[in-house]
Amino acid sequence: MFLKQIDLTTALRPSYLPDEDLLFVQDNVGLYEGKYKLPDQQNGQVYLTSHRVCYVDKAEPRKYSVALDLKDVERCEFYAGFLKSSAKVTLIPKAIKRSSLGPRSPGFAPGSGTSSPGRRNDSPIRPPPVDPPPASATTWVCTICSFSNPVPSNFDPSTANAHTPLPPCLTCGIKPTLTHVLKAAISTAAGRQPGGPVLQTPLPVRPRPLSALGGSHINEGSGSAAPGAPRPSSALKTSDPDASFQCPRCTFFNHPSLLSCEICGAPLISHDIPDINQHIRSETDSPGPFLSKPLSALPPSLDSPHNSQPESVKVSFRGGGEKIFYERLKSSMTQRKWLLQGAPPIPKSGDGLANGTGSSSGPGGPPERVKIAGIAGLEHRGQAMRKNNELVIGNAFEDLEALMASAKEIVALAEKFARQSAIAGDPNNAFLAESVSQLGLITTKDIVGTSGTSGSNSLYLSELARNLAEFLTDDSRGVLRRAGGIMSLVDLWAVFNRARGGVELVSPTDFEKAAVLWEKLGLPVRLRTFKSGVKVVQGRDRTDETTIRSLLAWMKDLHEFPPEREVEWDWREWGRGVTARDAAERFGWSIGVAEEELEMAEERGVLCREEGIEGLRFWENFIDTGEGKTMPNPAQEASDHLIKAMKDAGMI
Amino acid sequence: MSTTTPFFFPREYSFPPFFTRQTNLTTHHAQLIKWAALVLAYCRHHRLFKLSLSSAISDPLSSTAEPTSDTTASDLFHNRQLNRRLSLADAREVLDFLRRDGRVEPVDGTTGDVVWVYWRTPEEWAGLVEAWVDETAQRGGVLTLYELREGDATRGAEFHGMDADLLQKALGVLVKRGKAQIFGQEDSLGVKFF
């Protein structure tokens, strides 16, 4: 089973990896593993992204939502459905490679933090292919005598610190610095990846004695296998004498029985790792050769773990949309966007400016920088950067292909420009520009499934609602926080559409409908309608009571602090009237919202109004002091007085 | 008729929103109650029996015209210190509220610009007069209305200096009860108590 649990956003959508794009959403789907339905994943939405297929459960989204990486998918099949059986898309996982390719998959190499492996639902039998880098294969070059020393087998770059004992150089006996060894270890670990296929040369299968390892200690086993030289030697007794063993360092083909390279002396132990894995499997499975054979005799429950091939996963489309899903799945499998992750930037064409800069960070060759200093240097640098930008843009727009190739750079550039222009402008613009760059949230009508006329629309709306909720609650953007925790729907609509950068705008009708859905979907924002019909958006935790409390606290403050100018009344007793503008300033609300909030408080009898030449002002309600009902106020007032007196006396 | 002691306005009188009609119904109700109490207390203090709404509201330009007539209550609806005043409509609403309570009555028909303010109702006045008559043993005697209002004998009684028309109303109550009889001409009315 290659499904993993996933993290969800506040709006109960999968949180996307960097560079991940949403391609398609369809609701009313269920999951199968092999032939069997997964009991907890029978009604939910499937999100197809450029990297993953995510399933978000409708009833228990936080518990049962899963995803599978497209990079683990070998191929997909389409089943159109028949009579009562709904259409399905089958995702067949890649056979788990226990070979040396395993550690080379980008996810596991130390130092390449590309995709987070996440929590895996692996069955215990299938070990997560976390192989420690074959330690003895790495070498560090002595800085004194430039001899290639092997990095000690127990040296782990991730845990090494200053106290890790390091052996001295074998030739000259000078101890290396920790950083030096660390660098060497990491660079070899990283460098192995591209060089991977070289090591994949057909190797003879080297069966190993069964006693060598306990079944479950693969990780320790492989780690300890490295120093234990005798073990490989026994393993190397192969039946095929022609098989040669390529040296990982100098690529010389050695005799398989050799422990170290004849030419460069590099140890040849790393090849043993696939061997161990194979061995484990064969041990748990059957003492046969590696070729995994389906054990049809076993019951299915036992079959799946024992079979090296994990079960395929089927996505059953009960509400339609399977065709588009399949099309987009196919295209994203072809595009293989996940490979682009962390890929080096496109090499620049041979121009003088970009030479010598492996990354896009530093334009201008190093020698130039050395020559020119001071203001002239800065100017020169600026000029070089501008020229570089010009070049990048020019190249990119030459033709479509080039544009696609340099898309990443262009986007980065555009963002930079946007930010620069925003700095010149008001902060609001900056905030918007920021939003645009962060918008990974394109819910378009195009993306969601088109099962039926009404059904698809509701899915679009619910996606839009989630989208909006994410937009609102995103901490980095802080849309809601900036607006004092409450903002009118119209404002939100404007901000949201502006954040979309003018494409795929949302119609007011859809927007309103989506906002109404928040309540139903259990999202952390809510739509509130004021008495006057103004609709506002606020966090779920914000209620009228909290607003009133803060308003009252403010009113109390006004008794304490003298107003700016002389007033005719006794401000110590009555405080001061506030306008909607004052409230808006005080709480960061928009004026419309402030008006509504004040009126709400008035409606509740907390405030009262005063209409004058200066406009409408709101006061603490001293008119309705509870006549006709009980008289709770004298006591209250007395205590207030007491508190006030104590405050005046400086006791509080 | 002027009084020496100044009228002490209630606390709310110096609260600016008190002069604005409240939209919240409960608050509005409380506001009306407070205004009604204020109007009655004010009139009682100043011994105002009639209130002319238009003159009370539309303050004649300056305060010079203040003591023109006894129906003026220029500072009742107008707080000069705060520079706040109750609007005509709102004052009318207050009086209307009092009318429903039986404390205010239009003086002439339905136009309602000048109203009686019954900080004592005619019945109460009648009771007072009757009690006074009993006390002074004037039962069976005949008094003019002028004597009742301005005579030395009634000095100290509450209805001394009372509005003539209102006194007539009060006596009318007594007549109805069969306790008195009014006779005489327009200007020289007399009353006989039984």
Rg (CA), chain A: 34
Q: Give the one of A602, A622, A628 whose C-beta lies nearest to B24's C-beta.
A: A602
Give the residue-averaged pLDDT of A553-582.
80
A608–B27: do the CB atoms touch at under 8 Å? yes
Whether A390 shows a pLDDT value over 80: the answer reads yes
Whether A297 shows a pLDDT value over 50: the answer reads no
DSSP letter, residue A14: B
Q: Which of B15, B31, B97 to mutate to test binding with chain A, by most A CBs within 10 Å of its CB?
A: B15
Q: Which residue has the higher pLDDT, A308 or B86?
A: B86
Closest residue of chain B to A623, computed from CA coordinates: B31
Residues A90 and A48 in one domain: yes
Closest residue of chain A to B32, computed from CA coordinates: A623
- In angstroms, the CA A334 to CA A413 distance is 27
Closest CA to B26 of A633, A617, A547, A626: A626
How are beta strands A73-79 and B78-79 bridged, if at all? unpaired
pLDDT score for A648: 66
Q: Give the one of A568, A573, A622 whose C-beta lies nearest to B82's C-beta.
A: A568
Sign of the four-CA dihedral A298, A300, A303, A308: positive
Whether B148 shows a pLDDT value over 60: the answer reads yes
CB A312 within 8 A of CB A93: yes
User: Is A611 at the interface with chain B, CB within 8 A?
Assistant: yes
pLDDT score for A78: 84
CA distances in angstroms from B23 to A605, A611, A618, listed in the order given: 10, 11, 12
Closest CA to A53 of A14, A111, A84, A19: A14
Chain A residues with CB inside 8 Å of B33's CB?
Answer: 627-628
Closest CA to A515 of A468, A482, A470, A475: A468
Average pLDDT, chain A: 67
Q: Which helix (H) or strand (E) is A527 found in, with range?
A: strand A525-529
Residues A170 and A235 in one domain: yes
Closest CA to A23 of A466, A463, A468: A463
User: Is A569 at the interface with chain B, CB within 8 A?
Assistant: yes
pLDDT score for A283: 39
How many Cβ contacts (< 8 angstroms) between chains A and B?
Answer: 73
Residue B184: Cβ within 10 Å count: 12
The strand pairing partners of A78, in sequence order, are: A89
- Total of domains in chain A: 5
Q: Give the one of B34, B83, B84 whose C-beta lies nearest to A623's C-beta.
A: B34
pLDDT score for A354: 40
B24–A628: do the CB atoms touch at under 8 Å? no
Q: Which amino acid is at A442?
A: I
Closest residue of chain B to A629, computed from CA coordinates: B30
Chain A residues with CB inside 8 Å of B81's CB?
Answer: 568
Lookup result for tokens 């709400």: A600
| Domain annotation for chain B: domains and CATH numbers | 11-117 (1.10.10.570), 122-193 (1.10.10.10)
- In angstroms, the CA A229 to CA A135 distance is 13
Whether B25 shows a pLDDT value over 70: the answer reads yes
CB A149 within 8 A of CB A169: yes
In a domain, A46, yes or no: yes
Q: Taking CA B180 as the corner, what is the angle to CA B178 and CA B185, rounded to the nearest 5 degrees?
A: 130
Condensed to tens digits (0 to 9), the pLDDT of residues A180-197 reads 877 777 777 665 544 434
In a domain, A597, yes or no: yes
A568–B27: do the CB atoms touch at under 8 Å? no
Condensed to tens digits (0 to 9), the pLDDT of residues A404-437 reads 666 667 777 777 776 666 555 445 554 554 444 4
Chain A residues with CB inside 8 Å of B78's CB?
Answer: none
Closest CA to A270 of A428, A432, A133, A363: A133
- In angstroms, the CA A441 to CA A445 distance is 13
User: Is A605 at the interface with chain B, CB within 8 A?
Assistant: yes
Residues A520 and A548 in one domain: no
Closest CA to A534 of A604, A592, A594: A592
Q: Which residue has the higher pLDDT, B17 or A418?
A: B17
Residues A224 and A318 in one domain: no
The DSSP line for B100-153 is HTTSEEESSTT--SEEEE-SS-HHHHHHHHHHHHHHTT-TT-EEEHHHHHH-ST
A627–B18: do the CB atoms touch at under 8 Å? no
A610–B20: do the CB atoms touch at under 8 Å? yes
CA distances in angstroms from B194 to A276, A501, B155, listed in the order given: 131, 96, 22
CB A94 within 8 A of CB A101: no
- How far apart are the CA of A645 and the nearest CA of chain B, in angstroms? 20
In a domain, A189, yes or no: yes
**What is the domain range of residue A553?**
544-621
Residues A560 and A600 in one domain: yes
- In angstroms, the CA A120 to CA A343 distance is 25
Residues A145 and A87 in one domain: no
A624–B26: do the CB atoms touch at under 8 Å? yes
- Indicate which CATH number applies to the domain containing A608: 1.10.10.10
B24–A603: do the CB atoms touch at under 8 Å? yes
Structure tokens at B87: 């609007």
CB B79 within 8 A of CB B11: no
CB A138 within 8 A of CB A188: yes
Three-class DSSP category at A103: helix
Q: Which helix (H) or strand (E) is A93 found in, with range?
A: strand A87-93
B15–A569: do the CB atoms touch at under 8 Å? yes
Closest CA to B47 of B137, B110, B142, B118: B118
- How far apart are the CA of A606 and the nearest CA of chain B, in angstroms? 9
User: Is A603 at the interface with chain B, CB within 8 A?
Assistant: yes
Helices (H) and strands (E) in chain A, counts: 23, 18
- Indicate which CATH number applies to the domain containing A29: 2.30.29.30
Condensed to tens digits (0 to 9), the pLDDT of residues A29-85 reads 888 887 788 887 888 888 888 788 888 887 777 788 888 888 778 778 888 877 778
B17–A570: do the CB atoms touch at under 8 Å? no
A610–B26: do the CB atoms touch at under 8 Å? no
Give the residue-averaged pLDDT of B35-42.
87
Q: Which amino acid is at A593?
A: V
- In angstroms, the CA A119 to CA B68 distance is 92
Q: Which residue has the higher pLDDT, A370 or A351?
A: A370
Whether A130 shows a pLDDT value over 50: the answer reads no
Closest CA to B194 of B139, B142, B134: B139
Residues in chain A, how many? Answer: 652
* Res. A638 pLDDT band, cuts 50 70 90: low
Share of residues in chain A with pLDDT > 70 (%): 57
Closest CA to B166 of B130, B126, B193: B126
Residues A152 and A244 in one domain: yes
Chain A residues with CB inside 8 Å of B22's CB?
Answer: 608-609, 623
Q: Give the one of B11, B14, B22 whose C-beta lies nearest to A608's C-beta.
A: B22
In a domain, A295, yes or no: no
The DSSP line for B39-100 is HHHHHHHHT--EEEHHHHHS--SSGGGTTS-TT--TTTSEETTTTEE--HHHHHHHHHHHHH
* Res. A350 pLDDT band, cuts 50 70 90: very low
Three-class DSSP category at A149: strand
Three-class DSSP category at A623: coil
Chain B residues with CB inside 8 Å of A624's CB?
Answer: 24, 26-27, 29-31
- In angstroms, the CA A354 to CA A365 distance is 7
- How far apart are the CA of A558 and the nearest CA of chain B, in angstroms? 14
* Res. A630 pLDDT band, cuts 50 70 90: very low
Give the residue-averaged pLDDT of A538-551.
82
CB B174 within 8 A of CB B129: yes
Q: Give the one of A602, A622, A628 whose C-beta lies nearest to B12's C-beta.
A: A622
pLDDT score for A357: 41
In a domain, A634, yes or no: no
CA distances in angstroms from A578 to A223, A562, A601, listed in the order given: 73, 13, 13
Whether A100 shows a pLDDT value over 80: the answer reads no
Structure tokens at A83: 């009579």
In a domain, A535, yes or no: no
Residues A137 and A206 in one domain: yes
Q: Which residue has the higher pLDDT, A501 or A368?
A: A501
Residue A618: Cβ within 10 Å count: 26
B22–A609: do the CB atoms touch at under 8 Å? yes
- In angstroms, the CA A595 to CA A597 distance is 5
Looking at A439-538, list the stretches that DSSP marks H as alpha helix, in order from N- to C-terminal side: 453-473, 479-482, 489-499, 508-521
B17–A605: do the CB atoms touch at under 8 Å? no
What per-residue string of b and e applies to A497-523 under the rule 16 or more CB within 10 Å gives b? bebbeeeeebeeebbbbbbebbeeeeb
Chain A residues with CB inside 8 Å of B27's CB?
Answer: 602, 605, 608, 621, 623-624
- In angstroms, the CA A10 to CA A370 distance is 50
Residues A569 and A499 in one domain: no
Q: Which residue has the higher pLDDT, A448 or A362?
A: A448
Q: Which of A570, A608, A618, A627 to mutate to test binding with chain B, by most B CBs within 10 Å of its CB?
A: A608
In a domain, A514, yes or no: yes
Residues A78 and A142 in one domain: no
- How far apart are the CA of B16 and the nearest CA of chain A, in angstroms? 7
Q: Give the one of A568, A574, A619 whose C-beta lies nearest to B81's C-beta.
A: A568
Q: Taking CA A476 as the corner, what is the angle to CA A472 and CA A482, rounded to the nearest 5 degrees?
A: 60
CB A449 within 8 A of CB A321: yes
Residues A217 and A147 in one domain: yes
Q: Is A204 exposed, middle or buried (0-12, 13-18, 19+ CB in 10 A)?
A: middle
CB A149 within 8 A of CB A166: no
In a domain, A632, yes or no: no
Q: Taking CA A639 as the corner, what is the angle to CA A634 and CA A640, rounded to the nearest 5 degrees?
A: 95
Whether A583 shows a pLDDT value over 80: the answer reads yes
B20–A612: do the CB atoms touch at under 8 Å? yes
Residues A274 and A149 in one domain: yes
Chain B residues with CB inside 8 Å of A568's CB?
Answer: 16, 81-83
Three-class DSSP category at A476: coil
B20–A625: do the CB atoms touch at under 8 Å? no
Whether A505 shows a pLDDT value over 70: the answer reads yes
- In angstroms, the CA B173 to CA B193 distance is 12
Structure tokens at B57: 């509201």
Within 8 A by CB and 6+ apart from A394, the residues are: none
